[in-house]
């Protein structure tokens, strides 16, 4: 995807997800972030960074993807600093944070050791990821693209297992949220672009017809609704 297409697809993917703001509310209900410093690892387009900045002292929105630079230039905010670096390079500064977010990451086992470097005894580490069997996550399997995600699923399970060994769990929740699209046309465009964005799917007429059928099965009161199940953890150092 070209940078502009990438940003457009990314923003739209976030636009229709978790309209009730359950992830944000769960963070705010369990952590007092007023006046605190936050590190948002893999911030993307700042889906969590921007709303949390309303309460925090400072948010470091960290992402290594250069295509995100223009988005943060356009959406400047006084207490949000976009840093276009890898986590490993950024943490050479040895700075500590009050709250660290790792939401919907590509699994990298190095993150466990790296996140510890940015924590002190009072730091709250928030980890959020999706179930693999929720409505939205199974779209790609229903498209029958022959992609094999068994290894990714195994890695995610091992990563969570390691988190629970290396950190102390103070909050563990399972959240049910949704992608809600106003109509079939928007759902088709947004989901198709999300499949291209995240899974590099090459669409043809056959796959497009399959996606249309999948979307129709999720029509409720003229809206298109796909359920999304979330693992939510707040952890501290042991």
Per-residue pLDDT, 146: 67
Taking alpha carbons only, the member of 208, 206, 216 closest to residue 192 is 208
| Token digits of residue 107 | 């699994």
3-state secondary structure of 13: helix
Condensed to tens digits (0 to 9), the pLDDT of residues 87-131 reads 999 998 889 999 999 999 989 999 999 999 999 999 999 999 999
Cα 213 from Cα 35, distance rounded (Å): 48
Q: How far apart are CA 44 and CA 168, in angstroms?
A: 27
Summary count for the chain: helices (H), strands (E) = 10, 8
**pTM for the structure as a whole:** 0.94
Confidence at residue 1, expressed as pLDDT on a 0 to 100 scale: 76
45-84, pLDDT tens digit by residue?
999 999 999 999 999 999 999 999 999 999 999 999 999 9
Task: Compute the distance between CA of residue 173 and CA of residue 65 in angstroms, rounded to an integer.
Answer: 30
Q: Residue 44's Cα: distance from chain center in Å?
A: 8
State the number of CA atoms in the 13 A half-sphere of 117 facing the CB.
14
Section 180-194 average pLDDT: 97
């Amino acid at each position: 995807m070209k940078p502009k297409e990438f940003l457009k697809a990314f923003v739209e993917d976030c636009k229709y997800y978790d309209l009730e703001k359950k992830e944000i509310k769960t963070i705010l209900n369990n952590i007092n972030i007023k006046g605190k410093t936050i590190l948002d690892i893999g911030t993307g387009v700042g889906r969590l960074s921007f709303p949390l900045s309303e309460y925090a002292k400072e948010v470091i929105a960290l992402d290594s993807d250069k295509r995100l630079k223009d988005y943060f230039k356009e959406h400047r905010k006084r207490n949000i600093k976009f840093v276009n670096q890898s986590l490993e390079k950024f943490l050479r500064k040895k700075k500590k944070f009050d709250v660290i977010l790792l939401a919907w990451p590509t699994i990298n086992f190095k993150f466990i050791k790296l996140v510890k470097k940015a924590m002190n005894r009072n730091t709250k580490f928030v980890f959020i990821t999706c179930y693999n069997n929720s409505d939205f996550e199974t779209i790609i399997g229903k498209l029958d693209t022959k992609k094999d995600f068994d290894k990714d699923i195994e890695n995610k399970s091992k990563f969570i297992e390691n988190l629970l060994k290396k950190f102390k769990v103070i909050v563990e929740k399972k959240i049910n949220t949704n992608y809600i699209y106003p109509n079939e046309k928007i759902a088709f465009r947004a989901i198709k672009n999300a499949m291209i964005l995240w899974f590099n799917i090459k669409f043809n007429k056959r796959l497009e017809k399959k996606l249309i059928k999948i979307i129709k099965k999720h029509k409720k009161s003229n809206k298109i609704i796909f359920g999304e199940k979330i693992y939510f953890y707040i952890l501290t150092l042991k």
